[in-house]
Structure 1
Amino acid sequence: MLTLGTVVMGVSDVERAVRFWQEALGYVLRDPVEDGWAVLIPVGRPGPGLALTVSETPARHHPRTHLDLYAADAAEQAAEAERLVSLGAERVDWDLYPEDPDFVVLTDPEGNPFCVIDTAHG
């Protein structure tokens, strides 16, 4: 059976994206950044890698894929969203929120949307 190894995200500035996602996830570089390519991996815990590669394609407001980051409850979700904003993320005025959402939508400094999920919601 296959397993998910790495999520690949296109960015315009690999160094900036590396700094943001290292702080956001507590990941480290697997190898030095080279030729517009970097892979971040978790430390001491399982999880997929996050590869960042130079792309000239602009970020989309409603992408077909995105990252979901899990928080234990609403308080952690709010605290993590604020922490991510302090690192350079931006809140999104999302037009597709359901009536009682368990998620908030942010964008990374590159404009790539991602969600912070309250896993205790409901």
Structure 2
Amino acid sequence: MLRIGSVVMGVSDVRRAAAFWTEALGYVPREEPEEDWVVLVPADGVGFQLSLGLSETPVQEYPRVHLDLYAGDAADQAAEVERLVSLGARRVDWDLYPEDPDFVVLADTEGNRFCVIDTTHA
């Protein structure tokens, strides 16, 4: 039986990306980061790993794979979006939003897109 061990994202600056995602998720490096690679793990040991690898490929405007970060409700979602923006994320002017979205699209410090989801949205 297989299981997901790590989600891997390409970045142009491993240390900058690691600083953002450790603050965003409360993760810690599994070992000392290298210039071209770091594996971040949940501080409490529960959850997926996030691996960040040096990449020279451009960020995709419409990525086929991305992270969904779950918030408890709409207020939590709004607070988390503001917290992530204060850490260096930016809002994405997403032209594919549905009529009443349960998600907000952001980009991390490297331009990688991710969503913050209101899990109580009907």
Normalising by structure 2, what TM-score?
0.98
Aligned counterpart, 1:94: 94
Q: Distance in 2 between matches of 1:36 and 1:12?
A: 9
Who is 1:44 aligned against?
44
1:57 maps to amino acid: T
Task: Report deviation, 1:35.
Answer: 4.5
Q: Secondary structure at the match of 2:81?
A: helix
Counterpart Cα distance in 2 of 1:47 and 1:2: 16
The equivalent residue for 2:22 is: 22
2-side partners of 1:97 and 1:66: how far apart?
15
What SS does structure 2 have at the residue aligned with 1:58? coil
Post-superposition offset of 1:44: 1.5
- Give the ranges of 4+ consecutive aligned residues of structure 1 lying more than 6 Å apart after TM superposition: none
- CA gap 1:75/1:45 in 2 versus in 1, 3 angstroms: farther
For structure 2, list consecutive stretches of 5 or more residues without a partner in the other structure: none
The 5-angstrom pairing of residues 71-90 of structure 1 reads 71-90=71-90
TM-score, with normalisation over the residues of structure 1? 0.98
Residues in 2 aligned to 1:30 and 1:45: alpha-carbon distance in whole angstroms: 10
| Aligned-pair identity (%) | 69
Cα deviation digits, residues 100-119 of structure 1 (max 9, x gap): 10000000010000000000
For the aligned residue pairs, the C-alpha RMSD in angstroms reads 0.8
Q: Matched residue of 1:39: which SS?
A: strand
Question: Which residue number corresponds to residue 106 of structure 2?
Answer: 106
Counterpart of 1:3 in structure 2 is 3
Report the count of equivalent residues.
122
